[in-house]
Each structure stands twice: as structure tokens, then as C-alpha cells.
Amino acid sequence: MRLTTRTNLALRTLMVCAVNGGRIVRKADVAAAINASENHLAQVINQLGQFGFIRTLRGRHGGFTLARPAEEISVGAVFRRFESDLPFIECFSPDNTCPLRDHCRMSSHLARAIEAFYASLDPLTLGDLTDCNSGLDALLSMDSPLRMRGGAVPCVRARQSRRHATAETD
């Protein structure tokens, strides 16, 4: 299994937004930070907005930001949205021309395997990937003086959901 470039860029873009909190980020800054083409990134940003992951703002001071907290964005949901229009294998395509389609038992096994893949990513949130990740902060923070030098930025964010989860299990 291999994810598309769109999915990869979508996750990277969301990570930039998460690292930069409620700040409006610009396409050019994100493209430079994640080593992506601005034209390709524009398509991904458009889809992220349509899917409700980011909020876009037009105009001179425009850009985009997360539409909801990073802790509420499931990585599995992002992957599903970006990968859903591409069939994993021909038998999942509406115009399946495989001569084995009426008798092959493999498609049901593949469907379960793909669902298990997404299900394993569902509990993982964008916040899990970005919160208190000093290396990522150093690379993606738009206002970090250490960004260009690649130095570490101390963690100042606390994961509310983890705190609540540990408090409930104690």
C-alpha cells in the first residue's frame, strides 16, 4: 500500500497549521517548510478547506488555519478523505473489468485489510503528532528563530486530552 502525494502533503500541511496554533499561515510559507510545489499545495489546501479540516481566508492578509483543534482531527479521517476516490485495486473500482470478479474471494479480504489500516489511524490525532514535538516545532514554526538553524524549541503546550485520560484511569 502506498499513499498518494496529496495525502502526504495534506498531513504535512495540517502539521504546519497545528504547530503554528491559531496563527494564519500562508501557502508560500507552508510550501517552503514542507518542500512542496505551491501549485500542487494549492490543490491540497482547497481540498482541506472543502473537507472542513482548515478554514481559509482570502485577501492580502489571507491564508489558512485549522478549522478545529488538532486533538479533534483524526489522521484516519484525513487519510480516508484523501484516498477515498482512488480504488486500492481494480475490483474496488465501479468500472471493474477483471475477468475473475464474479468468483474471486480476494476483494473481501483486501477490503478488511484496508479498513483495518484506517481503523488503526482513527484514534491517532493531529495533536498526537505535533504537541510537545520540539523537533517539529523547530522545523515548522513560522515565528521560531531556530527554524532556519534546526534547533529545538521547548515544549510549552500541554495535551489536555492526555491529562484527562490519565486522570480518569488513576
What is the tens place of the pLDDT at every residue in 88-135?
Answer: 666 667 777 778 777 888 888 888 888 899 999 999 999 999 999 999
Give one DSSP letter per residue of 76-145, joined into a string.
Answer: HHHHHHHHTTS-SSGGGSTT---TTTTT--HHHHHHHHHHHHHHHHTT-BHHHHHTT-HHHHHHH-TT-T
Domains of the chain: 5-72 (1.10.10.10)
What residues contact 115, with CB distance under 8 A and at least 6 apart? none
pLDDT in tens, 143-158: 755 444 444 444 544 4
pTM of the model: 0.79
